[in-house]
Amino acid sequence: MRRRIVLFLALTLVATTAWPAGKVARPRVYDLIAGGEQDYTVAPGDNLWAITGRFTMSRALLQTWNELPDVDALRPGMHLRVSNRHIAPRRGSDGIVIDIAVRTLYWFQKDALRARFPIGVGRADWATPPGHYRIVGRRQDPVWHVPPSIQAEMRAQGEKVVRDVPPGPDNPLGKYWIQLSAPGYGLHGTNAPASIGKYASHGCMRLLPEHVEFLYREGRDGTPVDIVYEPVKLARDAGRVYLEVHRDVLSGKRSELPAVLDFIEAAGLTEAVDATRVADAVARAWGTPEDVSLEPPAGPSARVVPVSDRSEAVGGTTAAATNDPGPASGVPSGTPRRPSLR
């Protein structure tokens, strides 16, 4: 407890905004960090918005790593250091996990991370609903029956109001629709690939055409789908503690240091973390795993599972999570305003 008080005093000097601190249930402590860093060559027409979406990377991290003074600093042929490294919120040995905070879909089979894809999720006012669901149906060349709520939005914005959109290039559902057990919600393709990796939909989850086709052909009805929203995550591996902090996009606020401290304490890791490292990670909110261990590293850092599209994962551990009493809590969860089919 004394160390908890000292840590709190050290960190509240840089506390910023309003995610209210308080008692939280014991959070999950994950054991898998997936992805990695790579060199990316800027292509003609690229911009920061598209690149960060493709790699589910925060703009602040991309600009800091590459010393980019502003969003107009990109030039074709420029080499960038990028990363899609994240703590994977594994829920079980088989199934799909959708991480709203990272805009990423993870697919686990037989306790291995088989693949992961960047996705577009619901924007703040049409938030994708966290929860436990299953795949209950799949359709090729779906017709989009526009929900009345979206028709009302079209009308309010002065757009032409449509009730049904047939299959084809103008259909925002793309070529494949994967229905979830939540009425009105599903996984689908898109005719707006630049929106992948962003909070851009009316609640559904959109993927690049080749990714949704892969899930459509390889997935099965009954597959569990867990949708989680955790702006703050913890992982532990080989005695090291990793903290990943994102800005809480659904509330428009940053994670508050006292609340993160409560989160760490609830996980039983207060004695294992360094105050300065935690402060830095929370202040930056880079959205990437940062080593906040009390002791300096004496060897290799966490096992990292590099997973490219449609590839088998290599490495990782078998446990779904440690300190795992049930659904994670203590971080905000988005609630949708209205059901949607887009």
Q: Which residues are identified as catalytic?
A: 188, 204
Reading the block at residue 117, the tokens are 């894809």
Residues comprising the chain, all counted: 342
89 vs 100, 108, 288, 300, CA distance in Å?
A: 11, 11, 13, 22
DSSP notation for 232-255: EEEEEETTEEEEEE--BTTTTBPP
* Residue whose token pair is 């990363």: 83
Residue 103 CA neighbour count, 13 Å, CB half: 33
* Residue whose token pair is 């959205």: 287
DSSP notation for 162-199: -SEE-SSTT-TTTTEEEEESSTT-EEE--S-GGGTTSE
Which of 182, 181, 208, 212 minimizes the C-alpha distance to 196? 208
203 vs 57, 177, 180, CA distance in Å?
A: 21, 14, 12
Could you tell me which residues are beta bridge partners of residue 95? 108
